[in-house]
Amino acid sequence: MPKTSFRKNSDSPMRATTIMDWDHKELIVPNKTFITNQLVNWTLSDPVTRIVIQLGISYGADIDLAYRTIEEAVCSTPFVLEDPEPNIYFQGFGDSSLDFSIRVYVSEPAYRMRVTHDLHVRLLKALRKQGIEIPFSQRELHVHSLSTALADK
């Protein structure tokens, strides 16, 4: 079965099932696929789903201010559920940033894209307002000079 997020079963004949995916493409899947392969149903018993956003801040940032800023942005985002509550974790020291993992829940899959967008925009604006930088990946390059003898060859 194709790896896709699908949202509704639009037809169920005997040999195949037609599924409409998030892009409104209809996929015809042989029914045996549902028996022989893994099937993920996001809303079988509960429509609540989790969104995870990874965020890095610069090493020079005030981590306490950053945490409060992230928390305020997350909690003020429409459609983010209070229960289960959002979680913000300092995950570690990245190559160019202090890395956070932000986990929020929405009441149904239809809100996932909108909430993901809103979270990214709110986080960016809030961090910029506080002067907290989201760094670009950085690499340090060491250049060694060639000796004059080698350079003349």
Q: Is residue 84 located within the same domain as residue 123?
A: yes
Q: Is residue 123 located within the same domain as residue 55?
A: yes
φ/ψ (deg, to 5) at 36: -95, -20
User: Average pLDDT over the chain, rounded to whole?
Assistant: 88
pLDDT of 67 higher than 90: yes
The torsion region of residue 36 among left (phi > 0), alpha (psi -120 to 50) and beta comes to: alpha
Residue 85 counted as domain residue: yes
pLDDT of 145 higher than 70: yes
We report the CATH number of the domain holding residue 79 as: 3.30.70.100
φ/ψ (deg, to 5) at 27: -110, 130
Q: Is residue 105 located within the same domain as residue 74?
A: yes
Structural domain harbouring 27: 6-36
Residue 27 counted as domain residue: yes
Q: Are strands 26-30 and 87-93 parallel, antiparallel or unpaired?
A: unpaired
Give the global pTM. 0.74
Q: Is residue 94 located within the same domain as residue 62?
A: yes
Is residue 73 within a helix (H) or strand (E), and if so which, with residue range?
Answer: helix 63-75
The number of distinct structural domains making up the chain is 2
Please state, in angstroms and rounded to a whole number, the distance separating the CA atoms of residues 30 and 91.
42
